[in-house]
Structure 1
Amino acid sequence: MATTTFGRFLISNINNKNSLNKLTQNVRLYSVPTESFEFIKVSKAGQNKNVGIIQLNRPKALNALCNGLMSEVAKALDHLEADSSVGAIIITGSEKAFAAGADIKEMKDNTYSTCISGNFLEQWTRVSQTYKPIIAAVNGYALGGGCELAMMCDIIYAGDSAKFGQPEILIGTIPGAGGTQRLTRSVGKSKAMEMVLTGCQVEAVEAEKMGLVSKVFPADKLLDEAVKLGEKIASNSQITNTMAKEAVNVAYETTLREGLRFEKRMFHGTFATKDQKEGMSAFAEKRKPNFSNQ
Structure 2
Amino acid sequence: MSARALGKIIIQKVLTENVHIKHKLAANVRLLSTPSGIYEYINVTKTGSNGSVGLIQLNRPKALNALCNGLVNEVGQALDILEADSSVGAIVITGSEKAFAAGADIKEMANKTYSETYSENFTQNWARVSTVRKPVLAAVNGFALGGGCELAMMCDIIYAGETAKFGQPEILLGVLPGVGGTQRLTRAIGKSKAMEIVLTGNQVPAQEAEKMGLVSKIFPVDQLVNETVKIAEKIASNSQLANAAAKECVNVAFETTLTEGLHFEKRMFHGCFATKDQKEGMAAFIEKRKANFTNE
Give TM-score, length-normalised by structure 2. Answer: 0.89
Deviation of the 1:144 alpha carbon: 0.1
Given the alignment, which residue of 93, 99, 102 partners 1:100? 102
Q: Is the 8 A contact 1:2 1:36 kept in 2?
A: no
| SS of corresponding position for 1:52 | strand
Partner-residue secondary structure (3-state), 1:86? coil
1:174-216 Cα offsets, whole Å, 9 max, x none, are: 0000000000000000000000000000000100000000000
Aligned position for 1:37: 39
Superposed CA deviations along residues 146-175 of structure 1, whole A, max 9, x for unmatched, are 000000000000000000000000010000
Instruction: Name 2:86's counterpart in structure 1.
Output: 84
Paired residues of 2:36 and 2:43 also in contact (CA < 8 A): no
Tell me the distance in 2 between the aligned counterparts of 1:263 and 1:273: 16
1:214 corresponds in structure 2 to 216
User: Deviations for 1:238-294, whole angstroms, at most 9, x for unmatched residues?
Assistant: 011000000000000111110000000000000000000000011111111110000
Deviations 1:22-57 (A, max 9, x none): xxxxxxxxx952431100000111111100000000
- Separation in structure 2 between the aligned mates of residue 209 and residue 124 of structure 1, nearest angstrom: 27
Residue 3 of structure 1 aligns to which amino acid in structure 2? Answer: L
In structure 1, the partner of 2:170 is 168
Which of 251, 254, 269 is residue 252 of structure 1 equivalent to? 254
1:41-80 matched pairs, under 5 angstroms:
41-80=43-82
Q: Does 1:265 align with 2:267?
A: yes
- Once the two structures are superposed, the pairs formed by residues 1-294 of structure 1 within 5 Å of their partners are 3=31, 32-294=34-296
Contact 1:64–1:102 (Cα < 8 Å) also in 2: yes
Would the alpha carbon gap of residues 57 and 2 (structure 1) be closer, same or farther in structure 2, given more than 3 Å must change? farther
Equivalent-residue separation in structure 1 for 2:141 and 2:165 (angstroms): 8
Q: Which residue identity lines up with residue 72 of structure 2 in the other structure?
A: M
Q: Which runs of 4+ in 1 moved over 3 A?
A: 1-4
Give the whole-Å Cα distance in 2 for the aligned partners of 1:43 and 1:99: 19
Aligned AA (2:223): K
Q: Is the 8 A contact 2:36 2:45 kept in 1?
A: no
Match of 1:253, SS state, is coil
Q: Which residue of 1 aligns with 2:4?
A: none
Aligned partner of residue 181 in structure 2, secondary structure: coil
Rg larger for: 2
CA distance in 2, matches of 1:220, 1:127: 25
- RMSD of aligned Cα (Å): 1.1
Return 5+ residue gaps in structure 1 as ranges: 5-30
Identity among equivalent pairs (%): 72
**Counterpart AA for 1:109:** N
Number of corresponding residues: 268
Letter in 2 for 1:137: A
Letter in 2 for 1:123: N
Cα distance in 1 for partners of 2:36, 2:55 equals 13
Q: Secondary structure at the match of 2:182?
A: coil
The residue identity in structure 2 corresponding to 1:105 is K
Alpha-carbon separation, structure 1, partners of 2:34 and 2:84: 13
CA–CA distance in 1 between the matches of 2:45 and 2:198?
34
Cα deviation, 1:204-240, whole Å, max 9, x if unaligned, reads 0100000000000000000010000010000000011
Matched residue SS, 1:78: helix
Aligned residue for 2:103, secondary structure, equals: coil
User: Take 2:126 and 2:253, find their aligned partners in 1: how far apart are those partners?
Assistant: 22
